[in-house]
Structure 1
Amino acid sequence: MSLRILLVEDDRELRATLREALGVEGYEVQPAASLADARALLRQAGTSSGMDLVLLDLGLPDGDGQSLLAELRRSSNCPVIVISAREAEGQKIRLLDEGADDYLVKPFGIGELLARLRVALRHRGHRSQPAVLSYRHGGLDIDLRTRRVRRDGGEVHLTPTEFELLARLVRQAGQVVTHRQLLADVWGPEHTEQTHYLRLYMGQLRAKLEADSADPLHLLTEPGVGYRIAEPDADA
């Protein structure tokens, strides 16, 4: 099961970059552009403990992220890493004293963020599994880090959405991923009922990746539940 990260960041470009980088590492990312979005996602998760870690910007359009930190600390022991352009030492000390696990000043490197994230999770008893970055099965070869997909040695061009859907299945290769999980992770939590998106894109993926899209060997349907990608080859 992927660890769930709530990413609270109002900068669209940075939010997309972090979501992609964390997704490649195997984390399930729930993005929020405001405090209201973050609170809605926490309610949807049931409780704040429904998230394994929170990445929290401070300067949000509807308030200061510090208020969300205080709410989280009243109800959860979930690790919180603050990501902010504010670099005053007093600000950092105050937020760390108020319960933040770490504080990263923007701009920061993705490698450093991932390392600090692993430390924060480890301190809460989570041991991150190595990310699934490649997949090979019956002539299908996928490299998530380079975003390259080959079928029988030939390069396959996928749209960004097709690739994200395929990558989500690869990260849990051999396991069923439900319709709701796929819709939330690829299109966003507001699209969890729109299964026609899923059918359309799965059909497009099968047309590109299967020898016979009507009798797929790689992208398999679990009727009424979701989809799974076949177990990778033993030597993959």
Structure 2
Amino acid sequence: MCAYVLVAEDDIKQAGIIGQYLEHEGHVPRLVHDGQAALDEVRRRPPDLLVLDLMMPVIDGLDVCRILRRESGLPVLMLTARSAEDDLLLALGLGADDYLTKPYSPRELMARIRSLLRRAEHSSHTTESPVLRAGRIAVDPLRRTVLVDGRRVDECTAAEFEVLAAMAAQPDRVFTRNQLLAVTRGTHRYITERTIDVHVLNLRKKIERDPRNPVHLLTVYGVGYKLSDSTWEDDPGTASGRREADGHAR
């Protein structure tokens, strides 16, 4: 597939190399060199994918990602010179779909880009995608929407959506973290199980009334997570609803 890829990298030489590799693979790159320019370009002409450097002038990559996640589910691949796990998890927590730490192999970068583009293309070309339901949650793979009691929740990142859709397809099944990693982009040496914990934390903020006391996306201690298929006669926010919810694993 030929994709329009926006590259936001303040190192002009490095941005040029990425652009050359993208062109070699048949894509159309657009290069910008600061965070504000990246936001302006996304709003002017939304790309199929954003390759976003974390450390940039004017607006850094984390703030760009934070702002974009309020506006769209655009796939974002973060590039960072930071290797600390907490920094990388912060990038994922703000909505990045994947990341690479510098220095990286251009071939690996292209492989990550291909993977993200395939996922986006598959989602946009799905012709038969029944709405998946688990309890009070409805996940529509075609429209990439999530409803809780008919209320549309905030935009999910591609990885968050795939985690939720996989669990909604098999309600009450317990998934290990490794199984959910495979659902998103497969196992990789740079990815840890904490990546899934971050996705779950973000999802809970979007689908739970009280993310600290979830009733939908539950932890199964020592194993992983499951999406409950339970519906309560009363709203979980009411006293009787809370009593019934207390009978379920948190």
Q: With structure 1 as the length reference, what TM-score do the two structures score?
A: 0.49
Q: With structure 2 as the length reference, what TM-score do the two structures score?
A: 0.47
